[in-house]
């Protein structure tokens, strides 16, 4: 027979075990929601988490109770997540739904249905970087520097770039209305979506000695395409190269480093540092294509194109010609996909050129400054699907001249 004293003691043990189990279950629930498995958190951090969820649930309950129209819970949750990321005040960090992430992957691969625009955020406005040749946007006269202020009648600013891009995409032969701000004039343009096959580069011989390679962006496979183009230009008799990075918004860093490896001697291409000061170095090997080189840049050259032009400048393996670049010296990483296929793209590090230059918000300054002619811009707007005549392309004309001089010096 169990004594009363033993029963009381056993009861106390049972209460303690129950309390411990309750705490453990609560912790596991919160761990499932927020914490990576195996993490240990401080009590203070745990209380902050509880406060966060309490606030969130209070607001959700009020909306569900008092709002005129029954809200969609999934839409509310998506809005809350986007609000958290938006609070970082970083145009390069954003949340992507599963559908938006699939669009992102298609974009990187280079084929999609849409209007044929590459855009970026400048001064909190969605700004056209490139209208791809032959695309609905280019045919309608949209050009670099135009600001997209509305899509299908919905006003847009820089924080809504992903939404604007998503709306402009759609089934081929369907229409989308885009409002463009050019200088002080607003234009309403109706575009018919089409299959867009984005080239990552184009190339040709400018004369019997100098090759020209225009790299639109750094997509999957761009480094192999770059190498194939160089081999073909060499076969055609190339002795020097003009590499055009104007309006190149960037792309995949590993493709950029692979291209840099072809143009640089052994050494650093760039290095990055995160908030903990952890340094990651990207290097090139000893083999390189050793020919006279000029690189063209402008104010829309950003990210990976700044990595490449900055590395070439630091290693002094080519002349940088044009205008100061955009100044995006930040590295983004994608976390996820999560359970629903959604992801977060976050700024996780900052990169520096081989000589340690921080180009974020500063850009790469050219060795030789050459501005685009107004006549060139007018020609592109009026003749969107025609090649810009060489005599109107001041930076390219200067690049050709400099490479010819270098070829002459080497002979």
Name the residues annotated as catalytic.
303, 314, 328
| Pick from 119-123, 239-243, 394-398: least confident | 119-123
- Give the architecture (CATH level 2) of 200-410: Alpha-Beta Complex (3.90)
Report domain extents, the chain. 55-87, 111-196, 200-410
Q: Residue 225 is encoded by which pair of tokens?
A: 């395409």
Is the pLDDT at 11 greater than 60, yes or no? no
| Pick from 73-87, 95-109, 122-136, 223-237: least confident | 95-109
- Identify the pLDDT of residue 1: 42
What is the average per-residue pLDDT within 257-284? 97
Is the pLDDT at 256 greater than 60, yes or no? yes
Is the pLDDT at 35 greater than 50, yes or no? no
Cα→Cα distances 53→34, 72, 155, 246, 349, Å: 10, 19, 32, 47, 29
What is the average per-residue pLDDT within 90-100? 89
- Cα(133)–Cα(139) distance, integer angstroms: 8
- Cα(128)–Cα(179) distance, integer angstroms: 12
- Identify the pLDDT of residue 121: 87
Residue 409 pLDDT class (50, 70, 90 cuts)? confident
| Pick from 4-8, 183-187, 373-377: least confident | 4-8
What is the average per-residue pLDDT within 262-268? 97
Mean pLDDT of the residues in the chain? 87
Among the listed residues 391, 174, 401, the one whose alpha carbon sits nearest the alpha carbon of residue 296: 401
- Identify the pLDDT of residue 103: 78
**Range list of H helices, 236-278:** 253-263
What is the average per-residue pLDDT within 327-345? 92
Task: Tell how strand 194-197 and strand 185-192 pair up.
Answer: unpaired
- Identify the pLDDT of residue 29: 34
Is the pLDDT at 8 greater than 50, yes or no? no
- Identify the pLDDT of residue 106: 73
- Cα(142)–Cα(396) distance, integer angstroms: 22
Residue 195, H or E segment = strand 194-197
DSSP string, 121-175: EETTEEEEEEE-TTSHHHHTT--TT-EEEEETTEE--GGGHHHHHHHH--STT-E
SS3 101: helix
What is the average per-residue pLDDT within 76-100? 89
pTM assigned to the model: 0.78
Q: Is the peptide bond before 234 cis (omega within 30 degrees of 0)?
A: no
| Pick from 26-35, 57-66, 202-211, 365-374: least confident | 26-35
Residue 41 pLDDT class (50, 70, 90 cuts)? low
| Pick from 73-77, 86-90, 110-114: least confident | 110-114
- Identify the pLDDT of residue 40: 61
Is the pLDDT at 129 greater than 70, yes or no? yes
* N- to C-terminal Cα separation, the chain: 109
Q: Please tell me which of 125-134, 154-163, 396-405 the model is most confident about, judged by mean pLDDT.
A: 396-405
Task: Tell how strand 343-352 and strand 117-122 pair up.
Answer: unpaired
If you search the block for the tokens 């453990």, which residue do you land on?
Answer: 24
- Identify the pLDDT of residue 410: 65
Burial of 357 (0-12, 13-18, 19+ CB in 10 A): middle
Is the pLDDT at 59 greater than 50, yes or no? yes
What is the average per-residue pLDDT within 296-301? 96
What is the average per-residue pLDDT within 64-93? 89
Q: Which residue has the higher pLDDT, 59 or 362?
A: 362
- Cα(65)–Cα(46) distance, integer angstroms: 28
Is the pLDDT at 13 greater than 80, yes or no? no
Percent of the chain with pLDDT over 90: 60
- Identify the pLDDT of residue 411: 63
- Identify the pLDDT of residue 99: 86
- Give the architecture (CATH level 2) of 111-196: Roll (2.30)
Is the pLDDT at 155 greater than 80, yes or no? yes
Is the pLDDT at 34 greater than 70, yes or no? no
Is the pLDDT at 36 greater than 70, yes or no? no
What is the average per-residue pLDDT within 353-362? 97
Count of all residues that appear for the chain in the document = 411
Is the pLDDT at 208 greater than 50, yes or no? yes
Is the pLDDT at 79 greater than 70, yes or no? yes
């Amino acid at each position: 027979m169990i004594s009363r004293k033993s029963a009381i003691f056993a009861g106390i043990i049972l209460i303690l075990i129950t309390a411990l189990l309750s705490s453990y279950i609560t912790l596991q629930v919160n761990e499932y929601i927020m914490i990576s498995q195996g993490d240990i958190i401080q009590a203070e951090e745990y209380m902050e988490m509880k406060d966060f969820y309490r606030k969130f649930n209070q607001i959700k309950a009020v909306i569900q109770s008092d709002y005129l129209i029954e809200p969609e819970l999934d839409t509310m949750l998506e809005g809350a997540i986007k609000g958290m990321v938006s609070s970082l005040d970083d145009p390069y960090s954003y949340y992507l739904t599963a559908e938006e992430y699939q669009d992102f992957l298609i974009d990187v691969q280079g084929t999609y249905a849409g209007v044929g625009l590459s855009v970026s955020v400048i001064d909190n406005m969605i700004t056209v970087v490139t209208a791809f040749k032959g695309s609905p946007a280019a045919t309608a006269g949209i050009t670099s520097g135009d600001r997209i202020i509305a899509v299908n009648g919905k006003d847009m600013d820089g924080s809504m770039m992903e939404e604007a891009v998503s709306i402009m995409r759609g089934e081929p032969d369907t229409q989308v209305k885009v409002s463009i701000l050019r200088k002080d004039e607003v234009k309403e343009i109706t575009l018919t979506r089409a299959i867009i096959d984005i080239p990552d580069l184009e190339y040709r011989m400018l004369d019997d000695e100098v090759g020209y390679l225009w790299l639109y962006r750094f997509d999957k496979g761009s480094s192999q395409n770059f190498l194939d183009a160089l081999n073909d230009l060499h076969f055609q008799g190339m002795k020097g190269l003009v590499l055009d990075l104007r309006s190149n918004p960037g792309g995949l860093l590993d493709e950029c480093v692979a291209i840099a490896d072809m143009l640089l001697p052994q050494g650093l291409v760039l290095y990055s540092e995160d908030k903990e000061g952890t340094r990651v170095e990207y290097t090139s090997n000893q083999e390189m294509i050793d020919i006279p080189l000029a690189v063209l840049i402008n104010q829309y050259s950003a990210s990976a194109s700044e990595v490449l032009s900055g590395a070439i400048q630091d290693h002094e393996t080519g002349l940088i010609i044009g205008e100061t670049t955009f100044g995006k010296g930040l590295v983004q990483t994608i976390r996820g996909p999560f359970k629903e296929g959604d992801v977060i793209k976050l700024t996780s590090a900052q990169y520096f050129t081989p000589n340690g230059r921080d180009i974020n918000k500063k850009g790469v300054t050219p060795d030789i400054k050459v501005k685009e002619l107004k006549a060139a811009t007018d020609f592109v707007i009026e003749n969107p699907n025609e090649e810009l005549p060489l005599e109107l392309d001041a930076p390219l004309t200067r690049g050709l001249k400099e490479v010819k001089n270098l070829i002459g010096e080497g002979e």
